Structure 1
Amino acid sequence: MSTTKIPLLGKTLDELKTLVAELGMPKFTANQLASWMYEKKVASIDEMTNLSLKNRELLKENYEVGASAPVHEMRSVDGTVKYLFRTPEGDYIESVYIPDDDRATLCVSSQVGCKMNCKFCMTGKQGYTASLTAAQILNQIYSIPERDTLTNVVFMGMGEPFDNLDEVLRALTVLTADYGYQWSPKRITVSSVGLRKGLVRFLEESDCHLAISLHSPFPAQRRELMPAEKAFSITEMVEILRRYDFSKQRRLSFEYIVFKGVNDSLVYAKELVRLLRGLDCRMNLIRFHAIPNVDLEGTDMDSMIAFRDYLTAHGLFATIRASRGEDIFAACGMLSTAKQQAEKNADNN
């Protein structure tokens, strides 16, 4: 992507209407632009052949589609692909393509780095650099070879989506709008540690699925794992979630990374049942992928199965998420961290 031209990608139909009006183009040009990008997925303004040559040249003076291909990719033996994108500022972000039978999911990033600094997350160790624009978020979908076979998108990559909610909501609008990708909100999940203002706004303004990073039902321990607990406790969060209906279109799930000897005993399972009793939700149990310089380990499968079975037997539906891509820097943030470190080392030599 050029740093001097403005990307058209990520603009809503209303924004495109404003743009063409300012340029003195016919109103219907906005719909044409949306169709070329979100339906036909062109790479350049020159390909928009039903626009007059004059209007294409006018657009190109200050605008571009704004799509850019991944700069690197790693392919796993299980079919998982991790893509590395570079922003105009030279930062790196990751997306992960996960094929699974009849599903094809893309995990996208919403920020460069992250402010949340969760103990178990490599992205958090990078610190926060920038929030992505809607164009940069959508480019992760727009510019991969598998884009037309995707069945689901999850905002579970680098960054905290609720810390960049304006741009995330703009991207969700394009993904679900009639003029955009025309996806059902049921195909999209947004994952968050839970930020109070962002949570309420997301629940009010979007119908997409919600996944909350939980990882411990005990506030004091969750605070050690996830500093965001200090500002907005899991108990407060659950009380807010109880005000909303998750029985129909939108699904509520909780992500629970299971750490050996930390949160994998039935004491934790019992407290989860107590905390979430009566809330229409599901629990996704995730085995921990080790990251450098963090004294946490993944638990064994027998413990995970016992944990899952206890939850399900007591009314809290739980699944164990299959580990994918362990041979290709599977943990979020590891590939971008490795790339950044390699460039620093090259600069120092």
Structure 2
Amino acid sequence: MEAKRRLLGMTLNELKEVASELNLPAYASKQIADWLYKKRIVSISEMTNLSAANRNTLSEKYVVGMTSPSEFMKSVDGTIKYLFQVGVNAFVESVYIPEEDRATLCVSSQIGCKMNCSFCMTGRQGFNGNLTTSDIINQIQSIPEYEKLTNIVFMGMGEPLDNADELFKALEILTSSYGYGWSPKRITVSTIGVAKGLQRFLKESDCHLAYSLHSPFPDERLSIMPVEKAFPAKEVIAQIRQFDFSHQRRVSFEYIMFDGLNDDLRHAEGVAKLIAGIPCRVNLIRFHAIPNSPLKSSNTENMNAFRDALTKKGIVCTIRSSRGEDIFAACGMLSTAKKEQKN
């Protein structure tokens, strides 16, 4: 028997195609979108402004498709890591991060990752597939804290711009009037700089951009990020520089600090030169240790000195607070543990 398709994650145009396929009234697509994204129902039977006959017709081939997290872990600081099953022995994570004036959800875009950064647990899993728009939206819509969310960041498992088609549909649903109606200012997409996807993002989206830099020096960056060979930071930053960031979109540079590797003043000077003239901020990030890695987080003294050096250059620089260190803090650790348990 053919599996039923999920409605959750469909754009309005896709819902119009569903209505046409099933000979439903043209206005039914907007009604379905309203039930999915405004009212967040879990069953087609709840779509009460569709006739019973039309609900039955819709149910023959489709389901809403919202599923609850399979597990969660809560930190002493309030951070919650959710685990979602997205296939046979396939899992992804999202992380809810509450703060005084905001509540952020970090969502995944892929099962594993192709990029193989040496400091990332997700990269060790290898690449096991792209998430669908339904998988992405489900991470947001199914958690109990949904109503509290103020921000979404695509910084979870995977490289968002390596799954551009599904990402852009998710961004449409998040920001459109038929969907969540969020301002693009509430959404940040993180990337290591996949050229084709980045070009499309810069042209089509007003969401914020976060670029993973981690070293200003090509050879050193290549040693921890193989992607430097295909998409050199210098070329990616030149591409970013061409676009106007003075209005809605903000660009930030993410910089994980490793002890003795990229955390001295020479590196701070290199970063300043590389991004000079771009209205931006630099986020310094403490490294969350992963098993069997020689990498260690930079100490507070070095992080403060690095921040102060960039600040003196007129660059906005902050040190990101570490969250959830008691609950498999590093991205990919919980899903890896679950996968190994299943094996």
1:316 is displaced (CA, Å) by: 1.3
Task: Give 1:100's aligned residue.
Answer: 99
RMSD over equivalenced CA pairs, Å = 1.0
How do 1:1-349 residues align onto structure 2 when only pairs under 5 Å count? 4-344=3-343
Alignment partners' CA distance in 1, 2:296 and 2:286:
9
Alignment partners' CA distance in 2, 1:330 and 1:343:
21
Task: Give 1:347's aligned residue.
Answer: none
Alignment partners' CA distance in 1, 2:268 and 2:87:
45
**Contact 2:89–2:342 (Cα < 8 Å) also in 1:** no
- The 3-state SS of whatever aligns with 2:245 is coil
Provide the TM-score with structure 2 as the length reference.
0.99
Q: What amino acid is the match of 1:338?
A: A
Q: What amino acid is the match of 2:49?
A: N
- The 3-state SS of whatever aligns with 2:315 is coil
Q: What amino acid is the match of 1:302?
A: E
**Contact 1:291–1:331 (Cα < 8 Å) also in 2:** yes
Alignment partners' CA distance in 1, 2:185 and 2:222:
31
* 1:28–1:192 distance in 2 versus 1, CA, 3 Å: same
**Contact 2:97–2:103 (Cα < 8 Å) also in 1:** yes
Q: Deviations over 1:62-82 (max 9, x none)?
A: 101110000000000000000
Q: What amino acid is the match of 2:35?
A: W
* 1:135–1:76 distance in 2 versus 1, CA, 3 Å: same
**Contact 1:257–1:285 (Cα < 8 Å) also in 2:** yes
**Contact 1:3–1:88 (Cα < 8 Å) also in 2:** no
**Contact 1:108–1:156 (Cα < 8 Å) also in 2:** yes
Alignment partners' CA distance in 1, 2:130 and 2:102:
29
- The 3-state SS of whatever aligns with 2:82 is strand
1:3 is displaced (CA, Å) by: 8.3
Alignment partners' CA distance in 2, 1:190 and 1:114:
16
Provide the TM-score with structure 1 as the length reference.
0.97
Tell me the percent identity: 59
Alignment partners' CA distance in 1, 2:114 and 2:231:
15
- The 3-state SS of whatever aligns with 2:60 is helix
Q: Deviations over 1:129-171 (max 9, x none)?
A: 0100000000000100001110000000000001100000000
**Contact 2:89–2:339 (Cα < 8 Å) also in 1:** no
Gaps of 5+ in 2: none
* 1:3–1:341 distance in 2 versus 1, CA, 3 Å: farther
**Contact 1:73–1:82 (Cα < 8 Å) also in 2:** yes
**Contact 1:154–1:188 (Cα < 8 Å) also in 2:** yes
Alignment partners' CA distance in 2, 1:219 and 1:64:
48
- The 3-state SS of whatever aligns with 2:308 is helix
Alignment partners' CA distance in 1, 2:155 and 2:254:
11
Q: Deviations over 1:222-246 (max 9, x none)?
A: 1111111100100001111111011
Alignment partners' CA distance in 2, 1:57 and 1:144:
28
- Structure 1 stretches of at least 4 aligned residues deviating more than 3 Å after TM superposition: none
Alignment partners' CA distance in 2, 1:87 and 1:75:
21
- The 3-state SS of whatever aligns with 2:294 is coil
Alignment partners' CA distance in 2, 1:181 and 1:266:
44
Alignment partners' CA distance in 2, 1:239 and 1:112:
30
- The 3-state SS of whatever aligns with 2:289 is coil
**Contact 1:219–1:234 (Cα < 8 Å) also in 2:** yes
The alignment of Structure 1 onto Structure 2 pairs a total of residues equal to 343
Alignment partners' CA distance in 1, 2:27 and 2:167:
26
- The 3-state SS of whatever aligns with 1:145 is coil
Q: What amino acid is the match of 2:214?
A: H
**Contact 2:154–2:188 (Cα < 8 Å) also in 1:** yes
- The 3-state SS of whatever aligns with 1:168 is helix
Alignment partners' CA distance in 1, 2:11 and 2:180:
11
